[in-house]
Structure 1
């Protein structure tokens, strides 16, 4: 299928003080040289300060596309190097924000990942970017990037090719689900999950119930 590439592999550089509930944040991700081992919980040597809202097997990696970074660089009139969004993978030639939920990528020779869910911007991210109303602005643009589940572990490094090896038929994208989820989208995802085409993380089913109550269906 499609071929893209990995521009940078980023992991935590240092924990920074943060006024949030945890007291520190691991959002300061920076590129690392050479091969990096990928396990079920993410990159070797990377951490998440808030395990309640980040990490776990369903959010093992966070990918952000260079096209989206370029959009924000033009909007904010500043350079936005790999890692600045807190991403583990800066990618090019493939859109994380427009990926189909449940699609799978092969990175390098042996790592396989699955697109699980959109990134939900938070106050820590706003403090990191130091942009007024950043959470609202980032969310409204829909360029949120995607969390990934690790299906097959291995080693990756900058320059590796990314191959899109499986695309579900339901058609619901990360950005679509984040920005404007509909009942039709919900039913398509639920059916795909029930049929075994994709495996939704538990939070989706909780959101389905909220969406149904909100829309009165």
Structure 2
């Protein structure tokens, strides 16, 4: 059964040497049920709203299976939230999801896949991989995870099932863009 293992929000805004000067990539899991609105998980923020957040990037999902791949590649743990994701999932190939695909999470929330994540230098600095070609390596891996739009608001909690409720015909997959 595909499900959410963690719901993550910003732990702290941190200084960053990029243009914005601050990053909200430091996400950590919350305990219990959390409200999800049009702009994502309540209590979460984005420092660079030009490139993150908004209605079409309200949530970012990343699979535990992909985090396990990177843990092996990087020889370190990749705890939930480490990639700046709001949702850590298991049992669903988030990278094979089609643009426009809709998922029900728990009893009420419905989300729609809008685009793949495009890695940036802030992410590379956060990972301590800025001199190791991280942006290119991550992008070319096919394990970038999708951004999601909230179609129906509600509450979700760790352990909530993810059910694919609609897959548009002929739409490109997240890892195929």
Tell me if TM exceeds 0.5. Answer: yes
Aligned mate of 2:52, from 51, 54, 58? 54
Partner of 2:87: 89
Bigger-Rg structure (1/2): 1
Query: Which of 22, 25, 41 lines up with 1:24 in the alignment?
Result: 22
CA distance in 2, matches of 1:126, 1:73: 15
Distance 1:126 1:96 in 2: 21
Residues 145-187 of structure 1 show CA distances to partners (whole Å, capped at 9, x for unaligned) of: 000000000000101011011111114200001xxxxxxxxxx
The secondary structure found in structure 2 opposite 1:71 is helix
Q: Which residue of 1 aligns with 2:115?
A: 117
Whole-Å Cα distance in 1 between the matches of residues 171 and 16 of structure 2? 38
TM-score by length of 1: 0.79
TM-score, normalised by the number of residues in structure 2: 0.97
Q: How many residues align?
A: 175
Unaligned runs of 5+ in 2: none
Aligned residue for 1:167?
167
Bigger RCO of structures 1 and 2 (CA < 8 A, at least 6 apart):
2
1:96 & 1:28 partners in 2: Cα distance?
21
Superposition CA RMSD, Å: 0.8
Distance apart, 1:133 and its partner CA: 1.2
Equivalence map 1:1-217=2 (5 Å):
3-131=1-129, 132-177=132-177
Q: Secondary structure, in 3 states, of the residue corresponding to 1:138?
A: helix
The CA distance in 2 between the partners of 1:26 and 1:96, in whole Å, is 23
- Greater share of residues in helix: 1
The Cα shift of 1:95 comes to 1.4
Q: SS of 2:17's equivalent?
A: coil
Q: Which segments of 5 or more consecutive residues in structure 1 lack a partner in the other structure?
A: 178-217
Structure 1 segments, 4+ long, off by >2 Å, are: none
